[in-house]
Amino acid sequence: MYRRKFPVKYTFLIPLLIILILSGCGRNQKVEFNKLADAYVQWYLKMNPVSATQLGYHEYDGEFGKYDEESFREKLADLKRFNIEMTQIDPLSLDEDHRIDYHILSAAIDEMIFEITELRMIEWNPRLVPSVIGNGIYSLIDREFAPMETRVRSLESRLSKIPELVQSIQNALKSAPSIYLETAISQTEGLINTLKVLPLEIYTDNTTFDRIDEHIRKGVYALSQYKSWLIDGPLKDHQRDFRIGKELYEKQFSFTVNEGVAATQLLNSAKNAIIDTQDRMFNLAMPIYLVENDEPVWVSRQDTLSVIKWVLDKIADDHVNRDEVVYNVKKGIDDITSFIKINDILDLKIENALEVREMPEYMRGVSIANLDAPGALEKNLKTYYNVSPIPEEWSDEQSESFLREYNNHSVQILNIHEALPGHYIQLYFAGKHSSKIRAIFSSGTMVEGWAHYCEGMMINEGYGNNDPKMKIVQYKWALRGMINVILDQEIHTKSMSRDEAVELMVTDGFQELSEAEGKWIRAQLTFCQLSTYYAGTIKMWSLRRQVELSEGANFELRSFHDRLLSHGSIPIKFLSDILLDL
């Protein structure tokens, strides 16, 4: 593996290197771009050691990275130099694959500059501490990418750096939204608990264990002090609005969604799609409703929604017990796998094993489940499907609400989205692509759009034995994507309140209260990501319809899926150019 080093403090080496790369007239633009892209990748991995480990590049496994003001100034200077040198490459002179990589890289550099100069989350996101440390530690333990002895050396190095990292991020924090403080406190406590049992997950000699125990003791102390500082320190008196505002939101939206659609366009599309989707749900729900009820007297739109809600409530009655959540997710995987094979949906020759497990504590508090795939630069390692168990402190009422939301029909849609043929399959094939640019700077819109598309595609292909209840539940998940856009924009660019958000989710989206309350928290802690589901799925369905129209009787679903997944996690606008040969 090519491992050129760019030490942070010697930033004068970067412009010198780029000058050498791009010097000389008439040089092949493809060769020049490859050299520049390689230089940037090496720089990026050096600057982001935890991300590098997660991606599968292990040169910097003993580091966390630098989070002080001087380091950010140096990063910014480097990024501006890279940006200047990008202008020396004419993308029109490149072949299609390299032209796509050029545009992805250009956008990635611009986004990092925006994050440092305008968004500046280092100054107001206290969740960075549990996030960076948790990911940095778990990325060394979770996967056997190297012998335990090698990983323990890196682990010991990172553990020794926890106090310094905590202090560095703490020094940078100037204010914080209250929801960020609350979540950071909870996640820091989860990280402390994780560190305390960490020795149980490794094996090494007694001398190394003694050193690791001492590093953990110091790390736990530093994190405990940080947690106390979050509770009683100056941030409680310097709180800021969690809403990032219209200007920052629209800039971040252009980077996150990156599909040539304006935020307002997507918002209007989502609002219009809600009515149509509810009408489709009603047409399926009415025959089920009439089995036990008389036909309603139609007075308003609310009567239509009431029929749908009655049917969804009946469906929600079928759920597991509170201690069976992870098991229920796990047992549904085999049925989906068989359906995909029998119906020839896509290639299932997967070498990375899938393991369903309880979500690590430091990750909890943002979503019910996530797919933790091995880094795109890794080969043949496990993929973890993390499922958050019901918190012990939840009341029976909260638990029942959660279990009704993720009932035995809904959990199948969850599995389709997170596992097969959603994230698990897509990320596996994305990792097989040779481009490091695509591996590192993947499109969240493509990733989430594919998974959201799969929910509808699988039900349309007959998964669930064409049970109308499955289709109704799938439409409910489709409503989530639409409502996510409204929440994302009207919370961060306007003044949507908690009550308004919950009302929208419960009434128009038929979500259980626990799900709506959880999404309200998530919508405060994130911005633009919630819009990627709907943005991606409408682009995905549009692309499929165009390919079907172009290929006519020769269209094959598996061929379409296999071709689509073979190009990595790139913006769907580029997939359209490739598959439609534009």
How deeply is 568 buried, as exposed, middle or buried, from its count of CB atoms within 10 A (0-12, 13-18, 19+)?
buried
Two tokens, residue 146: 């190297």
Looking at residue 2, its pLDDT comes to 26
Integer Cα distance of 568 and 441 in angstroms: 10
Q: Cα–Cα distance between 336 and 319 in angstroms, integer?
A: 19
CB under 8 Å to 264, separation ≥6 — which residues? none
| Distance in angstroms (rounded) separating the CA atoms of residues 214 and 74 | 33
SS (H, E, C) 487-511: HHHHHHCCCCCHHHHHHHHHHHCCC
Are 220 and 130 within 8 A, CB to CB? no
Q: Are 443 and 569 in contact (CB under 8 A)?
A: yes
DSSP code for 293: S
3-state secondary structure of 267: helix
3-state secondary structure of 371: strand
- The structure tokens 């007075």 sit at 299
- Closest residue by Cα to residue 21 from 68, 71, 77, 85: 85
Separation CA 449–CA 441 (nearest Å)? 16
pLDDT at 365: 62
Alpha carbon distance 579, 566 (integer Å): 11
pLDDT tens digits in sequence order for the chain, 582 residues long: 322 333 333 333 455 455 444 444 446 999 999 999 999 999 999 999 999 999 999 999 999 999 999 999 999 999 999 999 999 999 999 999 999 999 999 999 999 999 999 999 999 999 999 999 999 999 999 889 999 999 999 999 999 999 999 999 999 999 999 999 999 999 999 999 999 999 999 999 999 999 999 999 999 999 999 999 999 999 989 999 999 999 999 999 999 999 999 999 999 999 999 999 999 999 999 999 999 999 888 889 999 999 999 999 999 999 999 999 999 999 999 999 999 999 999 999 888 889 999 998 767 765 788 998 999 999 888 899 999 999 888 899 999 999 999 999 999 999 999 999 999 999 999 999 999 999 999 999 999 999 999 999 999 999 999 999 999 999 999 999 999 999 999 999 999 999 999 999 999 999 999 899 999 999 999 999 999 999 999 999 999 999 999 999 999 999 999 999 999 999 999 999 999 986
Which candidate, 476, 528, 530, 531, places its Cα nearest to that of 505? Answer: 476
pLDDT (0 to 100) of residue 304: 95
Residue of 399, 438, 390, 416 lying closest to 574 (CA atoms): 438
In which order are the strands placed within the sheet that holds 369-372?
354-358, 383-387, 369-372
Helix (H) or strand (E) holding 438: helix 436-440
CB 259 within 8 A of CB 572: yes
Per-residue model confidence (pLDDT) at position 582: 63
- Taking residue 148's Cβ as centre, other Cβ atoms within 10 Å add up to 14
> Tokens standing for 269?
């599309």
How much is the pLDDT for 268? 98
Contacts of residue 298, defined as CB under 8 A and 6 or more positions apart, other chains included, come to 304
